[in-house]
Structure 1
Amino acid sequence: MPDVPTKASCPPPSFDEAKNRRQRARAAGMDPNYWYAVGRSADLRKGQVMATRFWGQDIAVFRGEDGRLRAVEDRCAHRHIKLSTGEVVGCRLVCPYHGWEHDGDGNVKIPHDLFGRPEPRLRIRSVPVKERYGLVFIFPGDPQLATVRDVPTIPELEGDDPWPHAIVQFDCEGHFSMLLENVSDFTHGFLHRKYQPFYGQDLLRLDVHEDRVEVEYATKVAAGRLQDAFVRRLPTDRNRMVACYDYPYHWSNTDDRIKHFLFTLPKDERSNRHIFIFYLHPDGMKLPGVPGRLPRPVLKAMMAFARKFTLEPLLGQDVWVIGHEQEGWDAHHDKPAPELSPVVKAFQDLTIRKWREHLERTGGSDLVRVRPCRPSSGAEAGT
Structure 2
Amino acid sequence: MAGTTVGEIRARIELDMSNWTRRQAQIRNDMAQMGRSSANLSKQMALVQKASLAVGGAVVAGIGVSVKKAADFEEAMSRVKAISGATGQDFEDLKNIAAKMGAETKYTAVEAAEGLQYLAMAGFSVKAQVGSLPAVLNLAAASGEGLGRSADIVSNIMTGFGIKAEDSGHAVDVLVKAMTTANTDLPQLGDAMKFVAPVAHSLGYSIEDTATAVAKMSDAGIQGSMAGTALRASLLHLTNPVGQSAKAMKKYGIEVKDAHGNLKPIPELVGHISKKFEGMTSAQKTAAAAQLVGVEAASGFVTLLGVGEKGLRNYSKTLKEAGGTADKVAKTQMDNLKGSFEQFTSALDGLG
Q: How would you bin the TM-score normalised by the shorter chain? A: under 0.3
Higher strand residue share: 1
When the two structures are superposed, what TM-score results if normalisation uses the length of structure 2? 0.25
Bigger CA radius of gyration = 2
TM-score scaled to structure 1, two decimals? 0.23
